[in-house]
Amino acid sequence: MPNVPRHWESRGLLAHARVEADRRLHSDADRYRVAPIVCAKEAGLRLDAIREILNATN
């Protein structure tokens, strides 16, 4: 799913990635956010709820 990170960026779950040579470069902090997002999605949470949870813990 190559467009998932871009979709998550548009929904406020990940910071917008830097683009270098047509490749999106995410920070280490963004990489660490992916696992909880995936787990929450698998648990059935909506992206809006996941964003609220992640933002509340920051």
pLDDT tens string 1-46: 558 888 898 998 988 887 888 788 888 888 888 999 999 999 999 9
pTM: 0.76
Say if residues 50 and 56 touch (Cβ distance below 8 Å).
no
Domain count, the chain: 1
Gap between the Cα atoms of 20 and 37, Å rounded: 25
Which segments of 1-58 are extended strands (E)? 18-20, 23-25
Residue range(s) defining the domain that contains residue 10: 4-56
Describe the chain by its helix, strand, coil percentages, rounded to 5: 55, 10, 35
26 closest CA partner among 55, 3, 6, 52 = 6
Instruction: Return the pLDDT at 45.
Output: 97
